[in-house]
Amino acid sequence: MDGLTRARGRCAVTVAAVALALVAGGCRGHSPHGGDGAHARVPAPLRSVPGRILVGSVRVGGFAELRPRFPRGCLRVFSELAPSASTRVVERAGILGRSVTVADPHTPWLYGCDAGVRSPARCGSAVGAWRGGRLNDPRLDVLCDDPKGKHLGAAWVVPLRRTRWIAVRERDFTEIYPVAGRLPVRIWTRDGVRYERSSADFEVTQFAADGTRLAHEKLHTAVAG
């Protein structure tokens, strides 16, 4: 093993450790884990992604398993949502924020709630028209703040058929979101928020299971509807 390889190996271990520490620290007490697609370390096919990589965790389950305050308490505000046994729920705990995404085959709507990483309650919510694998709008929410009071933006991105991970580039790091539950992925940005314009830009890259880069775009979103 030459020096460069050793250095890369050390770097990968460090990044994974930082990711684990940040996920565990940032989502203390409410980190969803287990279930399908749960990750807390950098997936091997993405280790070549440049810069600091951090990975949030994800849990897929049913409505009955949700904790009472967040997200279940939040979802109660959606009077048109009538959870059933076939309701699909994806809970995410990321570096910038937490979210829950809910879909039910009996309704054409996709419901979502957002919360800060350390906040016990929701800070925003979203409802989108979700039909045949298409979402009418990313449904940007800019009501959440980070612990330092900086505005955050949360929005859905619809993964491509082969997408396994979605990466969102921030100035200092890239956050990886595992695709789960065959639902749009709720992603976050802090650097891309233009609060005065109620809009946010996300630099999004979609990766296949083998690490192939499937798409890269600057997703422009705005609060609407």
Chain residues that interact with another protein, rule: CB under 8 A: 77-80, 109, 111, 124-127, 129, 136-137, 139, 141-143, 195-199, 220-225
Q: What is the DSSP string of 83-127?
A: --TT-EEEEEE-SSEEEEEEE-TT-SEEEEEEEESS-SSEEEEEE
Min dist CB 177 to another protein, Å, is: 22
Nearer to another protein, 100 or 142 (CB): 142
224 contacts 197 by C-beta, under 8 angstroms: no
Min dist CB 149 to another protein, Å, is: 10
Name 71's Cβ contacts closer than 8 Å, sequence gap at least 6. Answer: 89, 91, 100, 113, 115, 122
Nearer to another protein, 13 or 77 (CB): 77
200 contacts 186 by C-beta, under 8 angstroms: no
User: Would you call 35 helix, strand, or coil by DSSP?
Assistant: coil
Structure tokens at 142: 């800019």
Nearer to another protein, 51 or 120 (CB): 120
Q: In this structure, which amino acid lies at residue 87?
A: T
Cis ω for the linkage preceding 184 (within 30 of 0): no
Longest CA–CA separation in the chain, Å: 61
Nearer to another protein, 18 or 143 (CB): 143
Q: In this structure, which amino acid lies at residue 122?
A: R
Nearer to another protein, 45 or 203 (CB): 203
Residues in the chain, how many? 225
Min dist CB 82 to another protein, Å, is: 11
Min dist CB 138 to another protein, Å, is: 10
Min dist CB 72 to another protein, Å, is: 15
Min dist CB 111 to another protein, Å, is: 8
Min dist CB 47 to another protein, Å, is: 35
d(CA 73, CA 122): 8
Nearer to another protein, 119 or 199 (CB): 199
Nearer to another protein, 118 or 162 (CB): 118
